[in-house]
Copies of this chain bind each other. A is one copy, B any other.
Amino acid sequence: MQKERLNSEILKGGITEPKGFLSAGIHCGIKKVKRDLALIVSTTPATAAGVFTLNKVQAAPVLICKEHLSKGKTFKAIVINSGNANACTGQRGYDDAVIMANETAKELNIIPEEVFVSSTGVIGEQLPIEKILIGIKKAVKHLGTGEFENAAKAIMTTDTFMKSVSATFLIDGKNVSIGGISKGSGMIHPNMATMLAFVTTDAAIEHDVFQILLKNVTDRTFNKIIVDGDTSTNDMVIALANGQSEIKIEQQKESYDIFEEQLYQILKKLAIDIVKDGEGATKLVEINVEGALNNIDADKAARTVALSPLVKTAIHGEDANWGRIIAAVGYSGIEFNPDKFEIYINGHQILNQNYEIALSIQDANQTLKPKEINLLLKLNMGTGKATCWTCDLSAEYVKINGSYRS
């Protein structure tokens, strides 16, 4: 069953909305035609925070970023190529990532440790480093505040739309902005499985505070999106804060909560856009679990339902098959009393306690017609709750992932 793909509106401004950030997105020849090299630059030194893949196989640029983040205090640039992940490439891959940082630093007249390096694309092939070096020179020439869409495009692999968002809000009477771009995961492609996001802000935030903020908000956004359970070797979220708004974000101040909420909205939008762009996705599914014994149980239940191929295919087929949902919660490993279980789809109760069917199959299936599905699972055992996002599983996903190179 072929269904219309999901899409997403693009919010203005992006990563150059915050003061003092420039970007570029150009074509250097890793891909045949499309943009494949992005550069993000702060005109003044910025603090940074980063969250990286937990995969034991870590691509060379991930290793470089972690080194720079642990050693450096301020940063000025992020250079990203698409089309080649520089993963599983051994010592040569590591050396090439170092060369990317060095060349970017040289062209910007800064030091290599002020540069983050990121790659996404095919695993196991060496970078075409000569092309990239020429590309870096070209990108530096293109740097500007109007180039944020090109940067968003240049980090895409098989994404079908660019992911770019920004927000401007008041703190203590001054404008503060956050911008972000991301690219999809969704095991979107053979060997092209990486989730990347880059965030800029003109707030001033000390590294330790920024790191906690980014980790917390990432846990509630990027770490709550579930396409197919595969985890990439290259995943990363990097954020830069250059302080040009003259507003400092500190813990235990009201401004902290305002900033955290705005950062949450930005990362949530970027994360949900990745789910919407999951390979073959036709429906965005928000799963809310309430009434678990604790939040950890709620999260486990939500993730298990989100990962179940049976639940995901049923949603694709607009089949309100509550037996699959209850069975998935049942094997999630949490404390669970199925007699107390309730299911709501888009506000309509499907299943009441004691397995009482609340809607006919026909009416229940109607609740799955919209493109955005809200699944509410009430366990009625405690106060634990969790939210995650996933997409449906279509035959299209399998076709794309099974026949890429054949």
Contact = CB atoms under 8 A, between A and B. Distances in A.
How many chain copies?
2
Contacts of A317: 401-406
A171 interface: no
Interface in A226-276: 228-233
B123 A404 contact: no
Contact of A327 (B89, B233, B308): B233
A372 interface: no
B229 A330 contact: no
A90 B122 CA distance: 51
Contact of A365 (B187, B326, B338, B405): B405
Interface string A337-371: 01100000000000000110100010001000000
Q: Is the interface of A mostly helix, strand, loop or mixed?
A: loop
Contacts of A328: 230
Contacts of A326: 57, 88, 123, 233
Given A123-B323, A323-B124, A338-B88, A55 B331 contact: yes
A403 B124 CA distance: 38
Given A124-B323, A323-B123, A399-B395, A309 B309 contact: yes
B124 A193 contact: no
A122 B314 CA distance: 14
A1 interface: yes
Given A323-B88, A338-B56, A331 B231 contact: yes
Given A330-B57, A394-B402, A395-B402, A310 B123 contact: no
A87 interface: yes
Contact of A55 (B56, B327, B397): B327
B88 A404 contact: no
A294 interface: no
Nearest to A231: B331
Q: How large is the interface on A (under 10, 10 to 19, 20 to 34, 35 or more residues)?
A: 35 or more
A59 to B, nearest CB: 10
Contacts of A307: 229
A357 to B, nearest CB: 7
Interface string A379-406: 0000000000000111111110111111
A318 interface: yes
A404 B399 CA distance: 20
Contact of A89 (B191, B355, B398): B355
Contacts of A229: 307-309
Contact of A191 (B321, B339, B398): B321
Nearest to A337: B56
Nearest to A396: B395
Contacts of A90: 339, 354-355
B309 A187 contact: yes
A32 to B, nearest CB: 18
Task: Report the 3 A-B pairs with minimum CB-CB distance, sorted nearest first.
Answer: A123-B323, A317-B402, A57-B330
Given A56-B334, A57-B336, A313-B402, 5 more contacts: A57-B338, A123-B327, A187-B310, A321-B405, A394-B402
29 contacts: A55-B330, A57-B326, A57-B329, A88-B338, A90-B355, A123-B324, A124-B322, A187-B309, A190-B314, A193-B310, A228-B309, A230-B308, A230-B327, A230-B328, A231-B330, A233-B327, A310-B401, A313-B397, A313-B401, A314-B401, A314-B402, A317-B402, A317-B403, A321-B405, A393-B402, A394-B402, A395-B395, A395-B399, A398-B398
